[in-house]
C-alpha cells in the first residue's frame, strides 16, 4: 500500500510537470507596447525649452540650505522611550539614530563631501522636456589604443548616484591583457539633481525612453546597460523596447515579474513541491533563499511595507520625509541595514558600517535632502504598479537581448533560476556570490566591476552566434 502511494505521488508530480511544461510552452509570448519618444514630461511647453546641448554641472548647495538643516537637526524630536533590548527589529534603532544625528552635526563635512561628489564629471541636458543630470566618466588618456565601450549604469531607490562612486573608477581604468575599457554614463533614474516629471505616468519603460534618447544624444547609438533595484526594471524595459540599441544587459537583480495566471500558478506549485523534494525547484546552494517558505514569506512581509505605502500614497509619505531630515535619514538608512543582510536587524547599529561609512550613507541622504527629491523619487512605485503601466506588458514580454545576471544572497526578492531562464531568452550567464544584497554596486563594487568586465565577451559571443545563425 505504501509503495502504491509513493508511486501515485511520483506519477502525479510527473504528470504535473509534463502538463505545466506543455501549458507554458503553448502560452503565447506577449509583446510590449511601442512607446512614443516625443512625450514632454516637463512643466514647460516645448516651444519654451531651449536645448543648449550638453552642459557641465557642478553640485553646489547654498549656505542657507545647510543652516536650515543644522537648525532642524538641532531641534529633532525623538521618541521619549525607545524600547529596551531592541536593535533594528522595529525599524531604525532610536539610540543609534541619535549617534547618527551627532555625527551628522559635528563630524560630517558637507563641503568636503561636495569636493568628493564633484570628483567625477557631471553634466545636464534637456531630454523629453526635462533637465536631466548624469555622470559621464571617460577612460584615461592611457587607454587611447583600446576599444571604448559605452555603458549606462542605473540605480534605484533609496539610492542615488552615490552608489557608483567606487564602481566607476574600476570600469574606466584599463585592465591588463584586455583590449577594451568602459566609458560610463551614470544616471540617477529621475532622482536627485534631475528635474522631476510634471505629469503622471513616468514609469520604468518611459524612463527607459529618456535614457535611450540621452545615450543617442551623447553619440551612442548602441550601448550596454547595467543596473540593480529599479535599475534592473528600467534596464530590462530598455532591452525589450530597444533590442537593436542595447548590446547587452547586465543586472544584479534578475527576476521574472510576470504575474499572469499560468506562470504564477506554475511557479507556486513548483516551489511548493520543492519544499518536500530538495532540488526540485532550486539548486541545493539556493535552497536557503526560498525555504522554509514560511520564513521567506515573513521576510517579504517584514521588509516591503514601504513598497505598499509608496505605491499607494507616495505624496503623503514624501511630504512627511521632506519635512524632517532625521526622519529622512532613518527611512533611507534603514533599508541599507536590512536589505544588505537580514541578520543586521539584530545588531544595535544595524550593521550599517559593515559595508558603508557613515559619510557614504549621509552623502546619499544629503542628495535627497538638498534637492527636495524624496517625494518625486517615491512616486516611481505608484507609476510602476499602475494599471496604465501593467497594460504595456513589459513585465510579460520576453527579454531577447544577451543578459548576464549577478546574484547576491541577500536580494530582497528571489526568483528561481527556472523563472529567470524563461524571462531572459538569451541568458549568457548567472553568477552567484556569497555576500551582498540589494545594493550590490554600493556594497561590493569590486565584485560587480569584475562581473561586468567578464560579461562583455559573453555578450559579444552571443551576438555573433545570433548573427551567424540568422545568416
Q: What is the pLDDT of residue 10?
A: 47
With beta carbons less than 8 A apart as the criterion, state whether 49 and 129 touch: yes
Q: What is the pLDDT of residue 7?
A: 52
The strand order across the sheet containing 403-407 reads 55-57, 122-127, 130-137, 180-187, 147-154, 223-227, 246-251, 403-407, 427-432
Q: What is the pLDDT of residue 191?
A: 86
Q: What is the pLDDT of residue 9?
A: 46
Grid cell digits, residue 72: 532642524
Matching residue, cell 543644522? 70
Q: What is the pLDDT of residue 339?
A: 95
Q: What is the pLDDT of residue 115?
A: 98
- pTM higher than 0.85: yes
Summarize pLDDT for 292-337 with one digit per residue, the tens: 989 988 989 999 999 999 999 999 999 999 999 999 999 999 999 9
Q: What is the pLDDT of residue 69?
A: 98
Q: How, if at all, do strands 122-127 and 55-57 pair?
A: antiparallel
Summarize pLDDT for 230-286 with one digit per residue, the tens: 999 999 999 999 999 999 999 999 988 877 666 777 778 878 888 888 788 888 888
Residue-level pLDDT, tens digit, the chain, 471 residues: 545 555 544 444 455 455 555 545 555 678 888 999 999 999 887 666 777 799 999 999 999 999 999 999 999 999 887 889 999 999 999 999 999 999 999 999 999 999 999 999 999 999 999 999 999 999 987 777 899 999 999 999 999 999 999 999 999 999 999 999 999 999 876 689 999 999 999 999 999 999 999 999 999 999 999 999 999 999 999 999 999 999 999 999 998 887 766 677 777 887 888 888 878 888 888 888 888 989 988 989 999 999 999 999 999 999 999 999 999 999 999 999 999 999 999 999 999 999 999 999 999 999 999 999 999 999 999 999 999 999 999 999 999 999 999 999 999 988 888 889 989 999 999 999 999 999 999 999 999 999 999 999 999 999 998 877 665
Grid cell digits, residue 38: 516625443
Matching residue, cell 509619505? 317
Q: What is the pLDDT of residue 6?
A: 52
How many other CB atoms are found less than 10 A from the CB of residue 219? 8
Q: What is the pLDDT of residue 261?
A: 67
Amino acid at each position: 500500500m505504501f509503495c502504491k502511494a509513493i508511486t501515485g505521488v511520483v506519477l502525479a508530480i510527473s504528470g504535473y510537470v509534463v502538463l505545466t511544461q506543455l501549458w507554458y510552452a503553448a502560452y503565447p509570448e506577449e509583446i510590449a507596447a511601442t512607446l512614443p519618444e516625443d512625450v514632454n514630461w516637463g512643466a514647460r511647453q516645448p516651444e519654451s525649452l531651449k536645448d543648449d546641448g550638453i552642459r557641465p554641472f557642478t553640485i553646489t548647495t547654498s549656505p542657507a540650505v545647510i543652516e536650515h538643516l543644522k537648525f532642524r537637526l538641532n531641534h529633532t524630536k525623538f521618541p521619549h522611550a525607545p524600547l529596551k533590548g531592541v536593535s533594528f527589529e522595529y525599524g531604525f534603532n532610536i539610540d543609534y539614530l541619535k549617534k547618527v544625528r551627532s555625527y551628522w552635526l559635528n563630524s560630517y563635512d558637507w563641503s568636503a563631501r561636495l569636493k568628493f561628489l564633484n570628483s567625477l564629471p557631471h553634466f545636464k541636458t534637456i531630454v523629453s522636456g526635462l533637465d536631466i543630470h548624469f555622470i559621464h566618466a571617460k577612460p584615461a588618456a592611457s587607454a587611447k589604443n583600446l576599444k571604448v565601450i559605452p555603458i549606462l549604469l542605473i540605480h534605484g531607490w533609496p539610492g542615488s548616484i552615490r552608489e557608483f562612486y567606487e564602481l566607476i573608477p574600476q570600469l574606466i581604468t584599463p585592465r591588463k591583457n584586455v583590449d577594451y575599457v568602459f566609458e560610463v554614463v551614470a544616471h540617477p533614474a529621475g532622482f536627485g539633481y534631475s528635474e522631476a516629471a510634471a505629469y503622471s505616468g513616468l514609469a520604468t519603460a518611459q524612463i527607459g525612453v529618456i535614457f535611450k534618447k540621452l545615450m543617442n544624444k551623447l553619440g551612442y547609438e548602441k550601448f550596454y546597460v547595467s543596473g540593480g533595484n529599479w535599475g534592473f526594471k528600467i534596464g530590462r524595459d530598455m532591452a525589450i523596447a530597444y533590442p537593436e540599441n542595447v548590446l547587452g544587459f547586465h543586472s544584479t537583480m534578475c527576476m521574472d515579474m510576470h504575474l499572469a495566471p499560468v506562470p504564477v500558478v506554475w511557479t507556486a506549485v513548483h516551489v511548493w513541491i520543492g519544499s518536500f523534494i530538495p532540488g526540485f525547484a532550486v539548486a541545493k546552494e539556493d535552497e536557503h533563499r526560498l525555504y522554509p517558505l514560511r520564513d521567506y514569506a515573513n521576510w517579504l512581509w517584514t521588509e516591503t511595507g514601504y513598497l505598499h505605502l509608496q505605491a499607494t500614497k507616495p505624496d503623503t509619505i514624501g511630504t512627511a520625509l521632506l519635512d524632517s531630515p532625521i526622519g529622512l535619514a532613518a527611512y533611507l538608512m534603514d533599508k541599507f541595514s536590512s536589505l544588505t543582510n537580514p541578520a543586521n536587524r539584530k545588531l544595535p547599529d544595524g550593521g550599517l558600517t559593515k559595508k558603508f561609512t557613515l559619510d557614504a550613507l549621509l552623502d546619499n541622504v544629503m542628495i535627497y535632502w538638498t534637492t527636495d527629491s524624496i517625494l518625486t523619487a517615491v512616486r516611481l512605485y505608484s507609476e510602476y504598479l499602475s494599471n496604465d503601466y501593467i497594460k504595456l506588458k513589459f513585465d510579460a514580454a520576453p527579454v531577447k537581448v544577451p543578459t548576464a545576471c549577478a546574484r547576491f544572497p541577500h536580494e530582497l526578492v528571489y526568483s528561481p533560476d527556472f523563472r529567470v531562464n524563461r524571462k531572459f531568452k538569451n541568458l549568457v550567464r548567472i553568477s552567484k556570490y556569497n555576500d551582498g544584497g540589494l545594493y550590490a554596486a554600493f556594497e561590493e563594487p569590486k565584485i560587480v566591476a569584475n562581473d561586468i568586465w567578464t560579461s562583455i565577451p559573453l555578450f559579444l559571443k552571443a551576438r555573433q552566434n545570433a548573427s551567424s545563425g540568422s545568416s
